[in-house]
Amino acid sequence: MAQTNKEPAKIEAQRTFPPLDESLYYLRPQDAAFYKTLTGIEDDAALKKHILDVQAKAYKVAPYGCICLLAFTRRRLAELPAYQQVVRIGRECKNPIFLDIGCCFGNVIREAVLDGFPASQAIGSDLHGELWDLGHELFKSSPDTFPAHFVGGDAFDPETLTVATPASTQIAEVPTPDLNNLTSLNPLRGCVSAIHATAFFHLFKEDQQLYMACAFAGLLSPEPGSVILGTHIGAQEKGSVKTVFNGVEVDMFAHGPESWIAMWDGEVFEKGMVKVEAELRRETYGTAVTEGRPFSLVWSVTRL
């Protein structure tokens, strides 16, 4: 599903793109186990070379901080407090759908699938289809061996995703669209059991974050327990975050837990429709300097 744009993506939230630094490569035991299981590469040096090779290709496509910092090598989904809700949905629901927006390589989808979520019910969506293709290279898979679906496109483009009112529990069950022929996220309105977005919201300004949250809300199934979850750069109080982290100049709008909760419970959803949890954490990336590193906002929005 490769797109043809040759120019590297312009990322507004970041102003500088440092050269790749292999000293940032560090796999925790759980990350090494994940990559070895999926790639079949047992040798540590060979695995490192393989991951760094794909990283370099991806960085040419889109020089995101998460690619530079090798954040995709971490089991990120499993670290989210609401992850067990996703696992339960995948195992117990009749027609579960997991959607990862800003999915990059599809690394998070692969985490959910490894823990039992049916790959055929998982969908990745990203502006850069090349990153999804590189995900197959990274994990040594193909669309046959890893039948998760991919919808390419800009999540702000209404052809990809429009804002719709959150589905009501009063309406009859929405029929699930045929995921094999999906070219837009709009047919998924009211059908998605779990939506994940990590390192995604912080790419956008405050009004864009609200718009995107409303668009996610329209996709979520009204089934109690349906969940939207993720993590991205946060702050104690909402506002601009300007910092230099490992040579990466960051200038972003960040919510604090309180403003993030108030946005979802009251603005995006009518007050009382959802339970929102949000907390700040300090993440570390291998040997990267963590001093001055902005907080991560770790959050979930569960339909009641």
Ligand X SMILES: C[S@@+](CC[C@H](N)C(=O)[O-])C[C@H]1O[C@@H](n2cnc3c(N)ncnc32)[C@H](O)[C@@H]1O
The contact set with ligand X (CB under 6 A) reads: 62, 64, 66, 71-72, 76, 102-104, 107-108, 126-128, 131, 154-156, 198-200, 203
Residues 237, 241, 244, CA angle at the centre, nearest 5°? 145
Residue 105 CB, nearest distance to ligand X (Å)? 7
Question: Tokens for 106?
Answer: 């599809």
How far is it, in rounded angstroms, from Cα 124 to Cα 106?
Answer: 6
Q: Which is nearer to ligand X, 48 or 76 (CB)?
A: 76
How far is it, in rounded angstroms, from Cα 241 to Cα 254?
Answer: 6
Residue 150 CB, nearest distance to ligand X (Å)? 12
Name the closest residue to ligand X (Cβ). Answer: 102
| Beta-carbon count within 10 A of 125 CB | 26
Residue 129 CB, nearest distance to ligand X (Å)? 9
Q: Which is nearer to ligand X, 103 or 263 (CB)?
A: 103
Cα–Cα separations (whole angstroms), residue 89 to 75, 83, 112, 223, 294: 19, 10, 11, 11, 32
Q: Which is nearer to ligand X, 24 or 273 (CB)?
A: 24
Contact assessment for residue 211 and residue 180, using Cβ atoms and an 8 Å cutoff: no
Residue 128 CB, nearest distance to ligand X (Å)? 4
Give the closest residue to 55 by CA, choosing from 34, 28, 25, 78.
Answer: 25
Residue 115 CB, nearest distance to ligand X (Å)? 17
Residue 136 CB, nearest distance to ligand X (Å)? 15
Contact assessment for residue 259 and residue 278, using Cβ atoms and an 8 Å cutoff: no
Q: Which is nearer to ligand X, 68 or 263 (CB)?
A: 68
Q: Which is nearer to ligand X, 199 or 278 (CB)?
A: 199
Strand-pairing partners, residue 281, are 296
Give the closest residue to 168 by CA, choosing from 224, 90, 227, 99.
Answer: 224
Q: Which is nearer to ligand X, 58 or 235 (CB)?
A: 58
